[in-house]
Structure 1
Amino acid sequence: MRLSGIATADDKSGSDSVIDGAADAAEAASNSIWLDVAARSGFAVMALLHIVIGAIAIALVLGVPGQADPTGAIEQLAANPWGPAVMWASCAACAGLSLWQLSEATLRARHLPRGERLGKLISSGFLAVAYGSVGLSFAGFALGQRGDSGDSTRDFSTALARSPFGVPALVGLGLVIIGIGVYFIAKGFGKKFKEELHHFEGTRRGRLISMLGVTGHVAKGLALILTGLLFVIAAATNNPGSSTGLDGSLKALRDHPFGPYLLLAIGTGFIAYGAFALVRARFGRM
């Protein structure tokens, strides 16, 4: 029995060694220059999307029609003569960024303390899904499958509201989005984004990057809070069709006395966030 127990322990130890070795090999592969380039390209694509969304939001103030969300931004990019090539290249870049975030959530997180490991799994895992979804949107446009994100959000809200826990689930979703918005605002004012960059402290470039980071994160946080509020209001008024995502929340501002000014500020902030993301793509810590 003892010999059997020892053999079992040895087998388990050997199995753990094989798993650790495979994980180390996968982590080494994730540190390749190719994944680094793909991830940085993905950050650049996300930067471009934010700049276009910001420009569309500003245009809304001037009465120009448009869809101020990722789908609307992708549609603008697809309209140029090189549209299909841009769509597939952006899809590949987002896929690379999603894969990099997945490696952050799993392979690199192994070396963190337990509490930090869980936080990294949740944050980077969420980003991996988000960037992957944007990549799928690019692929959809490349294949000619174009949709309206406002309609998709409205349909999702309606389906969720009709589920057994519809209203609490809709409220919960709205509160989660509001919480993410508050996180972005806190990250902006606290300048936590500097941890993602190689530092340029004490330089003119550093002050400019800091200004872009604060303005961009706060603006994106406000937009997310507005989007989350629409979900909560939709649940409270039993009107799930009124939740139309980012585009709907920004367009709703136009009907309020100071709404156009806030919309203009958010649009400018999105452009600032896009500029910061370009810096992140070039000088970010990977």
Structure 2
Amino acid sequence: MTVAARAGFAARGLIYLLVGVIALQIAFAGDGKGRQADRGGALGELAEKPFGSAMLWTVGIALAGMALWRLSEAVFGGPGSDGSKLRKRAASAARSVFYAFVSYSVLAYAAGDRDSGSGSSDKHTDDVTAVVLKWPGGQWLVGVAGVAVVVAGLWIAVRAVRKKFRKHLRTAAMSPRTRRVTDVLGVTGGTARGIVFAVAGVFAVVAAVQHRPGRAKGMDDTLRSFRDLPAGPWLLALIALGLAAFGVFSWCNARWREV
């Protein structure tokens, strides 16, 4: 499981780094060279690199390893004194399902299904929101889901600022300089990631209140919304650099995470 977990963190880091680079291009170049600043855009960027197909297969398999590791935590418990608590097992099970889905989409994309994994997160969000809003009580469901995403985003950001990630890392094996760099990456990356989640949740709440699925936004449209604010390009650039930092922080997890 150790190899599977570390490979998964490395793959996650690569995706976030590419999303950050695309978002940075959007901040100052307008359309990011036609790429979406989300997982689909990252996969498209990766596919065009030398040995792109092999890299896609590697990322997909590595993410499957992440899903398997999270599943093992759900079944057998994770490291630490609280690793076997029910809430920790439930969280690991949810993460396992998420990474299994992401792995499948990446592998399907690598196999030639260009509609899988590379689809627009914005269109997917619009489609899902539109379907749910048609259900009885759909507005409430979308609204509650949006609030949950806002809370999750704020929780991610606060934990990052408080450096809660340290308890999962083998900090004793790091040099003082490595610890300082890892702290900066963890705080910056986690805060940026949490902000993006929270803002996406706000858009979902607005979509529910106005009963307009188009108000809900995926990751790409959420990032682009920062650009429309005062000093927007610079704000988006900061968020983009934060997401790239989270990607590098994931590589630190691949090296020093306790698994």
TM-score for both structures, normalised by structure 2: 0.91
Q: Counterpart of 2:184 in 1: which secondary structure?
A: helix
Q: Distance in 1 between matches of 2:226 and 2:255?
A: 34
2:95 aligned residue (127, 134, 145)? 127
| Equivalent in the alignment of 1:87 | 56
**CA displacement, residues 145-175 of structure 1 (integer Å, 9 cap, x when unaligned):** 2222221111011001111121011011111
| Equivalent in the alignment of 2:229 | 256
Gap change, CA 1:217 and 1:110, over 3 Å in 2: closer
| Equivalent in the alignment of 1:11 | none
1:143 equivalent in alignment to 2:116? no
**CA displacement, residues 23-46 of structure 1 (integer Å, 9 cap, x when unaligned):** xxxxxxxxxxxx321221111000
Contact 2:77 2:84 in 1 (8 A): no
Q: Distance in 2 between matches of 1:250 and 1:110?
A: 35
Contact 2:77 2:89 in 1 (8 A): no
Q: Distance in 1 between matches of 2:227 and 2:246?
A: 22
| Equivalent in the alignment of 2:72 | 103
| Equivalent in the alignment of 1:169 | 141
Map 1:46-125; keep pairs closer than 5 Å: 46-62=12-28, 63=30, 64=32, 65-108=34-77, 117-125=85-93
1:183 aligned residue (155, 166, 170)? 155
Q: Which residue type is aligned with residue 196 of structure 2?
A: A
TM-score for both structures, normalised by structure 1: 0.83
Contact 2:66 2:99 in 1 (8 A): yes
Instruction: Kindly state the Cα deviation for residue 139 of structure 1 after the two structures are TM-superposed.
Output: 1.3
Instruction: Kindly state the Cα deviation for residue 236 of structure 1 after the two structures are TM-superposed.
Output: 1.3
Q: Distance in 1 between matches of 2:94 and 2:235?
A: 28
Q: Count residues in correspondence.
A: 251
Contact 1:234 1:242 in 2 (8 A): yes
| Equivalent in the alignment of 1:6 | none
Instruction: Kindly state the Cα deviation for residue 121 of structure 1 after the two structures are TM-superposed.
Output: 2.1
Instruction: Kindly state the Cα deviation for residue 109 of structure 1 after the two structures are TM-superposed.
Output: 5.6
Q: Distance in 2 between matches of 1:189 and 1:76?
A: 31
Gaps of at least 5 residues in structure 1 are 1-34
Map 1:172-211; keep pairs closer than 5 Å: 172-200=144-172, 203-211=176-184
What CA RMSD, in Å, does the superposition of the two structures yield over aligned residues?
2.0
Q: Distance in 2 between matches of 1:51 and 1:111?
A: 29
Instruction: Kindly state the Cα deviation for residue 91 of structure 1 after the two structures are TM-superposed.
Output: 1.2
Q: Counterpart of 2:211 in 1: which secondary structure?
A: coil
How many percent of aligned residue pairs carry the same amino acid?
A: 35
Instruction: Kindly state the Cα deviation for residue 112 of structure 1 after the two structures are TM-superposed.
Output: 6.6
Instruction: Kindly state the Cα deviation for residue 202 of structure 1 after the two structures are TM-superposed.
Output: 7.5
Q: Counterpart of 2:85 in 1: which secondary structure?
A: helix
Which structure 1 residue ranges, 4+ long, deviate > 4 Å from structure 2? 109-113
Larger Rg: 1
Q: Distance in 1 between matches of 2:214 and 2:66?
A: 33
Q: Counterpart of 2:171 in 1: which secondary structure?
A: coil
Contact 1:185 1:221 in 2 (8 A): yes
Query: Looking at both structures, which has the greater relative contact order when contacts are Cα pairs under 8 Å and sequence separation is at least 6?
Result: 2
Instruction: Kindly state the Cα deviation for residue 140 of structure 1 after the two structures are TM-superposed.
Output: 2.1
**CA displacement, residues 217-248 of structure 1 (integer Å, 9 cap, x when unaligned):** 00100010111111111111111122131111
Instruction: Kindly state the Cα deviation for residue 258 of structure 1 after the two structures are TM-superposed.
Output: 2.8
Q: Which residue type is aligned with residue 83 of structure 1?
A: G
Contact 1:191 1:214 in 2 (8 A): yes
Gap change, CA 1:116 and 1:175, over 3 Å in 2: farther
Q: Which residue type is aligned with residue 24 of structure 2?
A: I
Which has the higher mean CA deviation after the structures are superposed, 232-241 or 137-146?
A: 137-146
Gaps of at least 5 residues in structure 2 are none
